[in-house]
Structure 1
Amino acid sequence: MNELFIVRVQRSGGVAGISRAGVLELHVHDSPPEDEPWVRLANGALEQLRRLDTDDGAGQVRDAFNWFLSIDGEDHRVPDTLLTGPARQLAEHVIRTAR
């Protein structure tokens, strides 16, 4: 049985007002070879986002992008300046493949 791991990403429009969104569905069990690196990256991104403290307003820049990531039903809002590492790599991949 395949369990889906769903990654939803939305990036706010920033100064230009152009928003982007995308969804990536990954098979966790018996995943095809092309899904395996993305499943690992999604798990790493989720661990990173759980450690990130965005409640204090750090990284907030006026008119900058804000990212909304939902990884396996867990939601995170991150200012562009704080989105780094595996979370950024995953978010940009999801946005890029949605076009």
Structure 2
Amino acid sequence: MDTKDAVMFIEVIRVGGVAGLTKRAQIDTDAIADEASVREWRQLVEQARPLLVSQPNVQSSSTRERDTFVWTVSVDDTTCQLGDSSITGPLRDLAQRTLREGRRP
């Protein structure tokens, strides 16, 4: 199977903030009927992938600033955990869109 046609599973977990809440959402491209939407998700993941694989995972307790978020972003078997100031560009776009449009587990 070509990777462009592969089903992708995206999960984002955002923890913290003033209230210390956890927000979680998931996207499974196999469950999306609209092929144009699937292409948009694939494109967004491909733009974010270099950041996803290059980010060192943070230790939440040692690097977390007060009232900020810690983000965990997973695409298939690749996961990174970042502080709020470290999640930028296409990776932030992917994370925010997943939280906005994804299914809540």
Normalization by structure 2: what TM-score?
Answer: 0.75
- Determine which of 15, 19, 41 is the counterpart of 1:16: 19
The list of structure 1 runs, each at least 4 consecutive aligned residues, that deviate by more than 4 angstroms after superposition, is: 54-57
What is the alpha-carbon distance in structure 2 between the residues aligned to residue 19 and residue 26 of structure 1? Answer: 23
What is the alpha-carbon distance in structure 1 between the residues aligned to residue 29 and residue 92 of structure 2? Answer: 17
What is the alpha-carbon distance in structure 1 between the residues aligned to residue 101 and residue 37 of structure 2? Answer: 14
- Whether the aligned pair in 2 keeps the contact of 1:60 and 1:81 (CA below 8 Å) is no
Identical columns (%):
28
Normalization by structure 1: what TM-score?
Answer: 0.79
Gaps of at least 5 residues in structure 1 are none
Residue 33 of structure 1: aligned partner:
36
Gaps of at least 5 residues in structure 2 are none
Q: Which has the higher helix share?
A: 2
Going from structure 1 to structure 2, the CA distance change for 1:56 and 1:65 (only over 3 Å counts) comes to closer
